[in-house]
Amino acid sequence: MKAFLNDPKVKEKYLNRVQAHFDADEIIQGVYWEKGRGCGVGCTIEGSDHSRYETELGISRVIAKLEDRIFEGLENGESKEFPVKFLKAIKVGVDLSLVVPKFMLWLLSDPKDGVFQYAETEQTKKAIQEVIDLYKKKLKGKEVTIEEWTEVRCDTTADTAAAAYAYAAAAAYAADAAAYAADATACAAASAFDTAAYKKAKTKHFSKEAKKLLSLLKQAK
């Protein structure tokens, strides 16, 4: 799959569309597509079917799900700007197949922003590490089978938000797994704070996720 179907006119079409929605203040959270207004995904395809990203833009539906969930987690001002930045970051004709594995590995194992640091038990640490190892295997160009992902999922336990994340991340072959994982990781990060600071901490982590995703999209070749 080549980004924007390897056609500059496709990028121009959708970037111009999203820019027009931004200029008209029609990019909003909480709604896919309704009366000419919608979320980042909604204003891109003017609908709600993430699979259309694949047929119309040459972008994986998993990446579309990530864009969607991060968009909803950002502060209002940053979220409005995110869809335009998202499309601008992707070069025409690049291969985006490694973007999600790289993003998930960062989300799991980064010493500063990853979820591993929030694991509360040895069992949870083991579950997360197993997922990390599979992503490393995938990034080395080796095949990771559905059976391997399923086995890791069966090893996870929901004793913490981190474990819930590992479970979601291990379902990488499911289209919505990455989006759920992004949300669960933000929750895990925020759980280290008191109730009053919870929302702020969660939003801050989504901002980091947005920056990381944009960086990986720009680096794709």
How far is the C-alpha of 156 from the C-alpha of 82, rounded, in Å? 33
Give, as one character, the DSSP assignment of residue 117: G
pLDDT tens for 93-118 read 999 999 988 988 888 888 888 878 77
172 SS3 class? coil
More confident residue, 66 or 54: 54
Better pLDDT: 60 or 91: 91
| 179 or 131, which is more confident | 131
Is there a contact between 208 and 75 (Cβ–Cβ < 8 Å)?
no
Residue 79 has pLDDT above 50, yes or no: yes
- Segment among 3-17, 70-84, 185-199 with least mean pLDDT: 185-199
Mean pLDDT of the chain: 83
pTM metric for this prediction: 0.83
With pLDDT > 90 as the criterion, what percentage of the chain qualifies? 48
Report yes or no: 181 and 213 within 8 Å, Cβ to Cβ: no
What is the C-alpha to C-alpha distance for residues 194 and 202, in angstroms, rounded to an integer?
Answer: 12
Separation between Cα atoms, residue 21 and residue 25, nearest integer Å:
6
**Phi, psi at residue 38, to the nearest 5°?**
180, -175
Q: How many CB atoms lie within 10 A of CB 117?
A: 15
Cα–Cα distance for residue pair 93/1, rounded to 1 Å = 8
Helix 177-190, helix 99-109: angle, nearest 10: 20
34 sits in which H/E element: strand 33-34
Q: What is the pLDDT of residue 187?
A: 56
* Of residues 56 and 195, more confidently modeled: 56
pLDDT digits (tens, 9 = 90+) for 178-208: 555 555 555 555 554 445 555 666 778 889 9
**What is the pLDDT at residue 146?**
72
Helices (H), the chain: 8-23, 40-45, 52, 61-73, 76-89, 99-109, 122-139, 146-155, 161-169, 177-190, 195-219
